[in-house]
């Protein structure tokens, strides 16, 4: 669960970064999803939609290299024929999804191309994919179309293609500006590629640009971190996302640690929090404001994070691609996580669903509450109106403990998270889990 990595009750987190998940992106924990619940998602797909926004996630699982800290489903050994086979399968999945009654004629509010490395695809492959997708769907009215990029896979012509295909937000996976840190952690790119890609991004022009950084990577020092923050400010993206390095079970680093093959010098949690704290201060001095525990934005009126804000308020997310996670009509689901088991059902005209979970109304409340509080504030009235529950009464002792520890403050119907609380929010929110989910693996 959230405390696997830091064994925290929320108020006294252990310092060392241990193997286990830390970042919380859903509830109940993924480890609780199962094949026995698949009838629930099939019924959800076959039913008229609820009156909620609709999003689309497309997983592009190819990478030039697998980073040592990566825990996503990615492939680094696939040729052009394999890529075409996958793109055809993904297109077929979109076709099948588009026929589901749950679509209900709703337009997509947001679209997200994630990975892996979506920018691994060539301009020709990208155009071919989008042309095939548009035979069944379109995102002409989406308020946000995000595309993740690895700097070394970009060219000016590819970025022009992305703009023509309707991408509104480019997210560049920089992670670090120090070449030794990048190489040491298995990243495929180095800083000259970042600089070149950024110049092209600026020349092509996108409504929104984001840069990803990771605090606490192996080999990072305070000096390299501060230089990286300064360089990112100099680049001037519309938003910056900063993650704290973690060690989920299926990473190269974690396998080395658990197999006693290597010591992995990931920064401890106090150091990572201190570095993010420093970054928040520096970005604030440069005119940015904090948008969540992980993000700063230059102009809040321009950057609204449609994907995040809708998903964290219970929108539907139709997830496509190998191992991708979705949420439809209140039911969680995940696609098959292996190459063959994902593609073979599609060739038979079947959706490649692997497991699901139908949360109770109380669990859906918890899910929205723990995700929304990551923005730094919580509107108690929202939950009273939507779920008929006063969350302050429901978890009174937990809230009071966090107020006493100065992680949060409460005034009327508003909970505000302090800077110290934001820096450790994923450890704090585990206390809101139901008892049966507090001591299970998160993933």
CA distance 363 to 245: 28
91, 185: one domain: yes
CATH number for position 175:
3.20.20.70
Boundary residue ending a domain (310, 336, 351):
310
The confidence score (pLDDT) of residue 252 equals: 85
CA distance 306 to 300: 12
CA distance 374 to 397: 20
Boundary residue ending a domain (295, 310, 325):
310
DSSP code of 50? P
Residue 142 vs residues 133, 201, 307, 367, 369: alpha-carbon distances, Å: 15, 21, 10, 25, 25
DSSP code of 193? H
110, 178: one domain: yes
User: How many CB atoms sit inside 10 A of residue 196's CB?
Assistant: 16
The confidence score (pLDDT) of residue 20 equals: 86
Q: Which domain holds residue 404?
A: 360-443
The confidence score (pLDDT) of residue 14 equals: 66
Token pair, residue 307, equals 């994907």
Has residue 382 been placed in a domain?
yes
The confidence score (pLDDT) of residue 250 equals: 84
Beta bridge partners of 414: 379, 411
For the purposes of burial, counting CB atoms within 10 Å of the CB of 79, is it exposed (0-12), middle (13-18) or buried (19 or more)? exposed
Has residue 201 been placed in a domain?
yes
Q: Specify whether the backbone of 388 is left (phi greater than 0), alpha (psi in -120 to 50) or beta.
A: left
277, 383: one domain: no
C-alpha closest to that of 239 among 294, 191, 320: 294
Has residue 267 been placed in a domain?
yes
Give yes or no for a contact between 193 and 151, defined as CB atoms under 8 angstroms apart. Answer: yes
306, 385: one domain: no
57, 193: one domain: yes
168, 52: one domain: yes
CATH number for position 421:
1.10.10.920
CA distance 375 to 118: 27
The confidence score (pLDDT) of residue 352 equals: 98
Boundary residue ending a domain (310, 345, 368):
310
Token pair, residue 247, equals 């060690």
Has residue 323 been placed in a domain?
no
- Positions of the chain with pLDDT lower than 50, given as ranges: 1-13
131, 254: one domain: yes
Q: Angle 361-372/380-387 helices, nearest 10 degrees?
A: 160
Q: Specify whether the backbone of 142 is left (phi greater than 0), alpha (psi in -120 to 50) or beta.
A: beta
CA distance 220 to 367: 33
For the purposes of burial, counting CB atoms within 10 Å of the CB of 322, is it exposed (0-12), middle (13-18) or buried (19 or more)? buried
194, 94: one domain: yes
Annotate 82-115 with b (16+ C-beta within 10 A) or e (fewer).
ebeebbbbbbbbbbbbeebebbeeeebbbbbbbb
Has residue 321 been placed in a domain?
no
The confidence score (pLDDT) of residue 397 equals: 98
Token pair, residue 173, equals 């996976």
Has residue 77 been placed in a domain?
yes
43, 141: one domain: yes
DSSP code of 53? -
Has residue 12 been placed in a domain?
no
DSSP code of 148? E
CA distance 298 to 281: 13
CA distance 226 to 277: 11
C-alpha closest to that of 420 among 406, 410, 440, 432: 406
177, 275: one domain: yes
403, 269: one domain: no
82, 204: one domain: yes
402 Cβ contact list (under 8 Å, min separation 6)? 10, 408, 421, 428
Say which residue the tokens 């109770």 belong to: 360
Domain count along the chain? 2
Has residue 319 been placed in a domain?
no
């Amino acid at each position: 669960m959230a405390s696997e990595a830091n064994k925290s009750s929320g108020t006294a987190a252990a310092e060392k970064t241990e193997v286990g998940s830390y970042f919380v992106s859903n509830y109940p924990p993924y480890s609780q999803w199962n094949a026995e619940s698949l009838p629930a998602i099939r019924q959800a797909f076959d039913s008229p939609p609820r009156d909620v926004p609709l999003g689309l996630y497309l997983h592009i699982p190819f990478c030039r290299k697998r980073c040592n800290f990566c825990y996503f489903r990615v492939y680094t050994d696939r040729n052009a024929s394999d890529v075409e086979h996958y793109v055809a399968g993904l297109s077929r999945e979109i076709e099948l999804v588009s026929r589901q009654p749950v679509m209900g004629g709703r337009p997509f509010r947001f679209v997200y191309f994630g990975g892996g490395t979506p920018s691994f695809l060539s301009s020709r492959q990208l155009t071919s994919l989008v042309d095939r997708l548009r035979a069944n769907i379109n995102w002409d009215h989406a308020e946000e179309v995000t595309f993740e990029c690895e700097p070394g896979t970009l060219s000016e012509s590819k970025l022009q293609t992305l703009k023509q295909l309707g991408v509104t937000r480019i997210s560049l996976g920089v992670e670090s500006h120090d070449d030794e840190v990048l190489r040491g952690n298995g990243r495929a790119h180095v800083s000259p590629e970042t600089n070149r890609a950024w110049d092209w991004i600026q020349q092509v022009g996108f409504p929104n640009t984001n840069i990803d950084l990771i605090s606490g990577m192996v080999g990072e020092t305070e000096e390299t971190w501060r230089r990286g923050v300064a360089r990112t400010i100099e680049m001037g993206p519309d938003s910056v996302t900063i993650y704290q390095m973690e060690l989920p079970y299926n990473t190269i680093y974690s396998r080395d640690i658990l197999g006693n093959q290597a010591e992995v010098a990931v920064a401890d949690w106090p150091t990572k929090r201190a570095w993010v704290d420093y970054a928040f201060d520096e970005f604030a001095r440069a005119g940015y404001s904090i948008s969540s525990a992980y993000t700063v934005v230059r102009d809040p009126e321009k950057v609204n994070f449609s994907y995040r804000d809708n998903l964290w308020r219970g929108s539907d997310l139709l997830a496509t691609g190998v191992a991708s996670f979705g949420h439809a009509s209140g039911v969680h689901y995940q696609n098959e996580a292996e190459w063959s088991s994902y593609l073979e059902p599609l060739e038979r005209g079947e959706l490649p669903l692997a497991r699901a979970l139908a949360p109770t109304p109380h669990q859906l409340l918890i899910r929205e509450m723990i995700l929304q509080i990551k923005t730094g504030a919580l509107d108690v009235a929202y939950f009273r109106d939507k779920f008929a529950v006063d969350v302050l009464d429901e978890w009174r002792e937990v809230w009071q403990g966090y107020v006493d520890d100065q992680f949060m403050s409460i005034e009327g119907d508003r909970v505000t998270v302090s800077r110290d609380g934001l820096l450790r929010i994923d450890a704090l929110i585990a206390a809101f889990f139901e008892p049966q989910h507090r001591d299970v693996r998160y993933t």
